[in-house]
Chains A and B, each alone.
Chain A
Amino acid sequence: MAGAARAALAPFDRGVDAEGAYHVQHDLQTMMQELVGIVRREDEMRQALEKLGALRARAEKVGAVGNREYNPGWHTAMDLGNLLTISEAIARSAIDRKESRGGHFRDDYPDKDPAAARFNTVIRKGADGVMALTREPVTPLTPEQVTIIEEQK
């Protein structure tokens, strides 16, 4: 608890001289839009993972000014960690899914892969703190569901 409180308040210690959280958030948004956006390619997404490392280093050094009530700059500073985690999880699982399906469009794998329909991508925090990605089987459809789908075809 004390550690979490210290981490949350750290941006105030760094104060006005440090980079503002909005800057980092804006750069993260632009980078993800360009490299892990609508049309995705493996080389671009690998590049994104590298850039995420650099952004994380910046995020750890952002500063906040003012008070603790209704301070959006400070809130953004605290949000950055979560935004970076989510961005990394998106990039890693998008690299792993070598097909195009729904909102996930891969320029290098433009077609649906029936085999890829049978797994979900699950990301866990590994023992070393690094994201560990596994493919876990999708719950099979019941015979009744299969019949309904066939009827609808």
Chain B
Amino acid sequence: MSLKATFRIWRGADGGGELKDYDAELSEGMVVLDAVHQIQSDQAHDLAVRWNCKAGKCGSCSAEINGKPRLMCMTRLNELDLTKPVTVEPLRAFPHLRDLVTDVSWNFRVKKKIQKFTPRPPDAADGSWRMQQEDIDRVQEFRKCIECFLCQDVCHVLRDHQMQEKFVGPRYLTYVAALEMHPLDTVDRTAELKQADGIGYCNITKCCTKVCPESIRITDNAIIPLKERVADRFYDPLKALVRLVRGKPAT
């Protein structure tokens, strides 16, 4: 028995290109990345694709499969409709390099802008700290992020409005949340969130949460609490009145 499916893959460089059809032989338990590798070794030796762990933990093989941002290595063929061609395209929110490879370096530049983790002095003479377990649990969820940038890809603020200069995107709001809610951290990033990170541009459509392969509840657990902190600092009417009287603006 030799079942086949058609994969409609984006071929081309620097933004240009077209979708090309390739047939791949199917076997049990196959994922989209397996099919791409098969096509690469049998039909298109120069098909560019970024991948690494094949286990959904490295965040390299992000692509848009049938129009949805997903990891190729975690998308099983038996959950797709194989009677129609399966389209595989590069992440459209980033500059295209070749075939399925995009330049995601903007993300790394954004990360550098965020104020680093700054722990308070150790609690004990041996250089260790004491923390409550529930405080640890809260940030642990954010630390599951594998930086696949699927949330950045799907976010309309970045994808459709190209606000890369003004908005850091869901991935980095999650990163700020992990730092801000860390029990040892001493830095206050509230003003940074409002200005440099552009948290106000997010209008909580929750698309980032939907595509996260690590099931991080980005909107509910990271972005909304941070928005509340910003609102509390800058937009509380009572506090604004007090500030007006004292003549001290919020920082």
Q: Is the CB of A74 within 8 A of B41?
A: no
| A/B pair count, beta carbons within 8 Å | 43
Q: Whole-angstrom distance between the alpha carbons of A68 and B52 in the complex?
A: 20
Q: Knowing A22-B45, A65-B46, A66-B45 are in contact, say whether A73-B40 is a contact too (CB < 8 A).
A: yes
Asked if B222 lies at the interface with its beta carbon under 8 angstroms from chain A, I say no
Q: Is the CB of A21 within 8 A of B98?
A: no
* Interface mask (B3-45 → A, CB under 8 Å = 1, otherwise 0): 0000000000100000000000000000000000000111001
Contacts of A71 in B (CB 8 A): 45-46, 48
Q: Which parts of B78-114 form the interface with A (CB within 8 Å)? A: 97-99, 101
For A64, give the chain B residue with the smallest CB separation: B45
Asked if B49 lies at the interface with its beta carbon under 8 angstroms from chain A, I say yes
Q: Which of A20, A64, A70 contacts B98 (CB 8 A)?
A: A70
Q: Interface residue tally of chain B, by bracket?
A: 10 to 19
Q: Is the CB of B101 within 8 A of A70?
A: yes
Q: Whole-angstrom distance between the alpha carbons of A71 and B44 in the complex?
A: 10
Contacts of A20 in B (CB 8 A): 41, 45
Q: Chain B nearest CB: distance from A55 CB in Å?
A: 17
Contacts of A73 in B (CB 8 A): 40, 45-46
| Residue from the set B40, B45, B48, B99 with the largest chain A CB neighbour count within 10 Å | B45
Q: Which of B42, B46, B97 contacts A72 (CB 8 A)?
A: B46
Asked if B47 lies at the interface with its beta carbon under 8 angstroms from chain A, I say yes
Contacts of B47 in A (CB 8 A): 72
Q: Is the CB of B99 within 8 A of A70?
A: yes
Q: Whole-angstrom distance between the alpha carbons of A72 and B45 in the complex?
A: 7
* Interfacial residues, chain B to chain A (CB-CB below 8 A): 13, 40-42, 45-50, 97-99, 101
* Interfacial residues, chain A to chain B (CB-CB below 8 A): 20-22, 26, 64-67, 69-74, 76
CB-based closest 5 A-B pairs = A73-B45, A66-B46, A70-B48, A22-B41, A71-B46
